[in-house]
Structure 1
Amino acid sequence: MALLTIARMGNPVLRAMAQPIADPTDPDLARLAADMIDTMIDAPGVGLAAPQIDVSRRIVVFRVPADRGEGESVATTVLINPVIEPLDGGMELGWEGCLSIPGLRGLVPRHSRIRYRGVGLDGQPIEREASGFHARVVQHETDHLDGVLYIDRMDDLKLLTFIEEAHHITEARNG
């Protein structure tokens, strides 16, 4: 497999609507997904969307390690043409970073519970409910397919910080 170059904020592909995928069983798509997974793990990250590697297609890969998912782990998943449905009006603030915006973190509001649908590389439907970190990762990666970066979702840019300085915001918020 190949490690791919990650597009950084400013690259126009990150602000464009990605194109739907007609044939999820295309062998070229399987190779792309494998390269995306290798790139995500090497970065290291928990998710990667095709626009982040300069491919304007509606495919994301993600995983939820047990230590990040409040005890829940989700194996590496390839999700094609994803659709998200919020399950309630609840929103939660949580820290997010992005491989396309290295070195920064921000407190981002996200739906606390979602249902997501899409298809896998075998063409079979995938439908799951998610909450917490799992829901956050899926929303973050799916946003990339619509040209949205996490900073666009932030209500207050005072909550955007360099990773090394994030403790100041956390300490101030926890009083």
Structure 2
Amino acid sequence: MRNLRAALVALIIFSPLGACAGNIGAAGEDMNMQRAAERADEILDVVLRDIDPEVAWTHDTTSVGSCDVTRRRAVMTIVSEGRRGSFLGVVDRSWRNSGYRIKSINNDPDVPAIFAQTKDGFGVSLIVGGEGQVFFEVDSPCVEESEVAESTTKPTAPIYEGMEHIPRPNIRSLFWSAGAP
């Protein structure tokens, strides 16, 4: 009987229907893609508010899958190579203080990254890309399908509408850009 019960639980958890059945939001309500996108915005808002001195950022793409949403933001402040460790430390501390589980840290000097997960199942990451540009990404768990509106959070850097790609960081900070050419 115990093995049958375990098999049924595994079937429910790992089946395609089980993956989306009973998706519960942070407040206990069923969560759809729009609410997941709003939750992702909240996660991004908090970490960017926790960075002191503040950095300028802009919205990057929002992706919608069959049952998940990804929100992205690009930091437009130049974070010098010498300040990257401090920057990652501030983000790591913010996420740990928010109760997130740090899943992995990439200490590569050229492309460092932090990957974490919230208590409600959202994946969060910070990745330093080409020329030191910092990107934040939040991936939702599988939720109910719905339309997804653009973020209503106002960026602190210019919006690069109509451009194919967001340019490299181009805003200087007395602190974060120190030592940068």
TM range (shorter): under 0.3
State the TM-score, normalized to the length of structure 1: 0.27
State the TM-score, normalized to the length of structure 2: 0.26
Q: Which has the higher contact order (CA 8 A, sep 6+)?
A: 2
Larger strand proportion, structure 1 or 2? 1
